[in-house]
Amino acid sequence: MRRLIRKLVFRPWWRLSRGLTLGVRGVVAGEQGVLLVRHSYVSGWHLPGGGVERGETMLAALGRELREEGNVVLQGPPRLHGVFSNHTYFPGDHVAVFVVDEWRQDGPTSRNSEILEAAFFPLSELPEGATPATRRRLAEIFDGAETSEHW
């Protein structure tokens, strides 16, 4: 509940008062496909991730978000795929995308007030509503599509 309040109340203030925001997303793939999540506060299916908190490293934020959203625990260092400028909602927003090669899942995917659904999907069968940015990142990583600097 606290995270939901932070996202709905404080996020707009942070965006007005900060010149830059930073988020992380993780590409967690395995035999079942790639992990995607559906949030309660924004439409579509997304790569799991969220904001980097003050005093937190990107890798710590990634580990926290993966645990919270998919019960995924990092087992080795993730690979940085890229840092993308996300001007859709805020001109100072940037998102770092990491490919998670070594991981384990501690129980089923999470469902809570923030995460409505979390599931693995084969790359050839992404759900309707998978966001364009999610599809672009997956195409860059798995299909060799040209990498954009924009989200």
Burial of 115 (0-12, 13-18, 19+ CB in 10 A): middle
Q: Are 97 and 28 in contact (CB under 8 A)?
A: no
64, 150, 79, 22: CA torsion to nearest 10: -30
- pTM of the predicted protein model: 0.85
What DSSP letter does each residue of 23-60 carry, written as one string?
A: EEEEEEEETTEEEEEEESSS-SEE-SEEEPPTT--HHH
* Confidence at 71, pLDDT banded by 50, 70, 90: very high
In this prediction, residues 123-140 reach a mean pLDDT of 98
* Confidence at 20, pLDDT banded by 50, 70, 90: confident
Every domain of the chain and the residues it spans: 20-143
What are the Cα distances from residue 33, in Å, to 27, 62, 142? 10, 19, 12
CATH T-level assignment (fold) for domain 20-143? Nucleoside Triphosphate Pyrophosphohydrolase (3.90.79)
Question: What would the pLDDT profile of 87-129 be if each residue is shown by its tens digit?
Answer: 877 788 999 999 999 999 998 776 778 899 999 999 999 999 9
Question: What would the pLDDT profile of 29-69 be if each residue is shown by its tens digit?
Answer: 999 999 999 999 899 999 999 999 999 999 999 999 999 99
Instruction: Look at the block and give the residue holding tokens 């469902």.
Output: 111
Distance of alpha carbon 80 from alpha carbon 78, whole angstroms: 7
